[in-house]
Chains A and B, each alone.
Chain A
Amino acid sequence: MIKNFIVLLFLFGLGMIFSALLLGYTPDSELNLTGRYYAEHTAQDLGAANIVTAIIVTYRGLDTLGEVTVLFLTAAIVGMLLSTGAGKGKSLQRKLSQSGELLTTGSHLLVPLILLLGAYVFINGHLTPGGGFQGGAIIASAILLILLTDPLYRFSHQLISIVESISGLIFLALGVLGIFFAGGFLDNRILPVGELGSLFSAGAIPIIYSLVGLKVGAEFSSMLVNFSETEDS
């Protein structure tokens, strides 16, 4: 009882801070200095139509590299935590009732389409609201659908790690190429900037974001696969 009271007191205090923040907040009517710089320079410098993508992949590319590394670490830790001690092959013997006809047929129809949508989202990341992280999440949702249809389906861990490490290595290599052929690490202008708004524009951004998409998709998939393999027999 006393614990609930302390919790409510704490939340009340936090709520007071939030309401003070909310009441004292006046929305900007102009872009601030950083936002203005990105808005004015993205199109002519990098040729990317989606300014958020330009910030993530090029202006703050190093942060994205760190973000992908954090995801990789998470996938590795989840794999390490969940794989040790679990009886391999034990879960495979478990008999499950067949998933329904509708779910099976539906997933056979939808999985290729979802994969296609994921690839579309990350290839067009520099033109439309989308990109590597979103596309990767969509690809992982196809894997999730397969696992829902057949919980005992086993994906090849080797394939997932090969896709992940190769896309990560090429991502890094493109970043290093930027030091020699353009302005610096992860500069996208190692390829021609091209015409604003066309698919082959914005230098290396589509390539880098596609690789990020594959890498993120592989990492999310490996997390899902690791979780599904913990299923008790």
Chain B
Amino acid sequence: MDTRITVRICTGTACYVMGGANLLTLEDYIPEQLHEIVSIEGSPCLEYCKSKEKGAPPFAIVNGVIIDSATVGLVLDEIKKQAHID
């Protein structure tokens, strides 16, 4: 596993009130074996809420893949998919 996975979580107003606050606890749910390759950072605002076609807040982005109506579970699924583990 040499690919690095960067997760960016939006902390803007709309995302925060629509559940983004919970996303910030993501780090606690990352499986042990992925700690080395996953890094989590925040964004002041990913600006996706301004275009409807991107979906609904909260947003997170996993190595370029946008996740809308994001939950810790959905983000974890995407991380696992990219890291090729089930």
| Same complex | no
Residues of A near any B CB (own CB < 8 A)? none
